[in-house]
């Protein structure tokens, strides 16, 4: 069982075995390979754009996934892209937890397209505006907003310019599932 906490909502228990194909029609179904991806698929199945989720592997809270389902973007070629921002915390002791941040892209059937490995928890986008992902930086190193358009296609790189302390450049890893 995985505990799924909807922030500002109720706690719900989900069995990860519920992510199997239950229909009679044969279709290409992606099978999740690790804890973080199973969490993302639960959020996609819930299907609430703008919703935040916190999921924990065990009661210690030392392996957690925080997700924000940003929503869907329809590209010029009528493809649907579902975007999920993720912050994952893990480690052996609470004093030495590591954090990774990623932006995951899925198609309309919830199959992974790829992901961008971001710098840290402050680097995840907070919202969509039209067909753009909005990166809002409001910290000591950078204080600006950068929209990245997905209207024409999926960008191969995300460039976030910041005059105060360098720039960020993140490359798309296609069809990849982030290692746990």
For residue range 124-144, list pLDDT tens digits in order. Answer: 999 999 999 999 877 666 778
Rounded Cα distance, 21 and 29, in Å: 7
DSSP string, the chain: -EEEEETTS-EEEE-GGGGS--SSS----PPP-SHHHHHHHHHHHHT-TT-EEEEESSTT-SSEEEEEEEEEEE-TTS-EEEEEEEEEEE-SSGGG-EEEEEEEEE-TTS-EEEEEEESSGGGS--EEETTEEEEEEESSS-EEEEEEE-SSS--SEEEE--SSS--EEEEEEET-----
| Residue 178 confidence (pLDDT) | 57
pLDDT band at 85 (very low <50, low <70, confident <90, very high): very high
| Residue 152 confidence (pLDDT) | 92
Q: Across all residues in the chain, what is the average pLDDT?
A: 78
| Residue 70 confidence (pLDDT) | 96
Q: Residue 143: beta bridge partners? A: 138
Q: Is the pLDDT of residue 61 over 70?
A: no
| Residue 57 confidence (pLDDT) | 77
Q: Are 80 and 98 in contact (CB under 8 A)?
A: no
| Residue 22 confidence (pLDDT) | 30
Q: Are 155 and 148 in contact (CB under 8 A)?
A: yes
């Amino acid at each position: 069982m995985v505990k799924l906490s909807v922030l500002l909502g109720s706690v719900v228990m989900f069995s990860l075995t519920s992510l199997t194909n239950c229909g009679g029609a044969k279709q290409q179904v992606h099978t999740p390979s690790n804890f973080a991806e199973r969490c993302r698929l639960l959020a996609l199945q819930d299907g609430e754009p703008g919703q935040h989720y916190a999921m924990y592997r065990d009661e210690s809270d030392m392996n957690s996934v925080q997700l924000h389902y940003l929503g869907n973007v329809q590209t010029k070629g009528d493809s649907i892209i579902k975007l999920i921002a993720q912050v994952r915390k893990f480690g052996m002791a609470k004093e030495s937890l590591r954090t990774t941040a990623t932006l995951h892209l899925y198609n309309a059937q919830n199959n992974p397209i790829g992901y961008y490995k971001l710098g840290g928890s402050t680097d995840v986008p907070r919202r969509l505006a039209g067909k753009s992902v909005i990166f809002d930086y409001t910290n000591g190193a950078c204080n600006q907003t950068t929209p990245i358009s997905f209207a024409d296609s999926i960008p191969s790189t995300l460039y976030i310019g910041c005059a105060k302390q360098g720039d960020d450049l993140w490359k798309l890893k296609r069809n990849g599932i982030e290692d746990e």
